[in-house]
Homo-oligomer: A and B are copies of this chain.
């Protein structure tokens, strides 16, 4: 799991404006020196901070009631317990620290669900760097608590109103800022996407998930798992959860994408009402990398959709696309309805309120057949505090059989006030 030329089979590469190329080359060099070769003890410091500030290692918990329900051993990798509430800090902390080693003074980031933005804002406050976060206006509305949290940590939040105002637009806008301020600024990208070295860099920072989980399951269950499930937006928690299992042939890896409201696409409207680029996407170039994309037949990127902001993206990490083509990773998908139902199921059965993103992985656990095998690890990529309002709204819209009665809170005057 070390350096490479930035290609994963045909995927990957560095498709960015020339103005950014020197910065990307500088970053690739810094990645190599610090994050791969541990120059100046970078990796040691990173591990220490992950532990003390981030709260690692996170537990691998046997989910008793889910195990009973499904007749298999279900283990939860508890990334929801990481500081900030999601796996996102693993990467944000790594990159902000790397930027500090590189002498950068200013950090910018895009965010979808707001989890990467809050993680970056936290890491910047912790390490004393300036921080600006770009976020689509639609996502700002869906994930307001996270907007406040970024502001409280001293970060600026820049609304992006182009297009549908989601993650895709926020990434484009952050790239524009970077192209303008590349000399003193580092762009902390939030997933295993973007130009080389980002996909490798982010994967390496997130690989701590599977590094811990592999050790933990061997201690706890005395065996490797039969399968590992993780939701995939850009794919950072996925790659993090899979990385150390890639060489274990007996371990099946499932990337669970957002099926949204439908797997069909509306080319006329330029809308794919899902975010299932691994399942339904095609090869193309976006945001610096060649990968699988939701695009129309002309190559225009489609507006994706998912009930969870963090999965609502038309692309996916190039390495994940490659692993799917190579047959190592199985792409599956779970739609909005099933994700919401899974959200309620986990909340009620296990006392863990998951992020809506994470709920997709549990949606697949409910649907899957025998294939998953006896021992399954599900990566709990984040907690759902940020999603409370969305869940109330989305639950009210549907007939969710296993939802508690939330009516009293959804009233016109702001609930129980």
A269 contacts chain B at the CB level, 8 A cutoff = no
A404 and B51 contact, CB distance less than 8 A:
no
If the complex has contacts A52-B62, A59-B55, are A352 and B388 also in contact, measured as CB distance less than 8 A? no
- Write the nearest CB–CB distance from A180 to chain B, whole angstroms: 23
B65 and A81 contact, CB distance less than 8 A:
no
CB-defined interface of A47-77 with B at 8 Å, one 1/0 digit per residue? 0000111010011111001000000000000
A128 and B52 contact, CB distance less than 8 A:
no
- Write the nearest CB–CB distance from A133 to chain B, whole angstroms: 13
List A residues 115-152 near B (Cβ within 8 Å).
Answer: 121-128, 137, 140-141, 144-145, 147-149, 151-152
CB-defined interface of A373-404 with B at 8 Å, one 1/0 digit per residue? 00000000000110010011000000000001
Q: Which residues of B contact A80 (CB under 8 A)?
A: 83
Determine the residue in chain B with the shortest Cβ distance to A353: B152
A348 contacts chain B at the CB level, 8 A cutoff = yes
B144 and A347 contact, CB distance less than 8 A:
no
Determine the residue in chain B with the shortest Cβ distance to A131: B351
- Write the nearest CB–CB distance from A112 to chain B, whole angstroms: 16
Q: How far is the CA of A415 from the CA of B148 in the complex (A)?
A: 10
Q: Which residues of B contact A81 (CB under 8 A)?
A: 55, 81, 83
Size band of the interface chain A makes with B: 35 or more
Q: Which residues of B contact A153 (CB under 8 A)?
A: 347-348, 351, 353
Most central of A53, A78, A80 by chain B CB within 10 Å: A53
CB-defined interface of A293-336 with B at 8 Å, one 1/0 digit per residue? 00000000000000000000000000000000000000000000
- Write the nearest CB–CB distance from A151 to chain B, whole angstroms: 5
The copy count of this chain in the complex is 2
A29 contacts chain B at the CB level, 8 A cutoff = no
A416 and B147 contact, CB distance less than 8 A:
yes
Q: Which residues of B contact A149 (CB under 8 A)?
A: 353, 385, 388
Q: How far is the CA of A65 from the CA of B121 in the complex (A)?
A: 15
A101 contacts chain B at the CB level, 8 A cutoff = no
Q: Which residues of B contact A61 (CB under 8 A)?
A: 52-53
Q: How far is the CA of A409 from the CA of B83 in the complex (A)?
A: 24
CB-defined interface of A343-362 with B at 8 Å, one 1/0 digit per residue? 01001111111000000000
Determine the residue in chain B with the shortest Cβ distance to A118: B353
Given contacts A149-B385, A153-B348, 4 further A-B contacts (CB under 8 A): A53-B61, A55-B58, A148-B409, A151-B404
Chain A interface residues (CB < 8 Å from chain B): 51-53, 55, 58-62, 65, 78, 80-81, 83, 85, 121-128, 137, 140-141, 144-145, 147-149, 151-154, 159, 344, 347-353, 384-385, 388, 391-392, 404-406, 409, 415-417
9 contacts between A and B (CB under 8 A): A52-B60, A52-B61, A53-B351, A126-B352, A147-B409, A147-B415, A147-B416, A148-B388, A154-B347
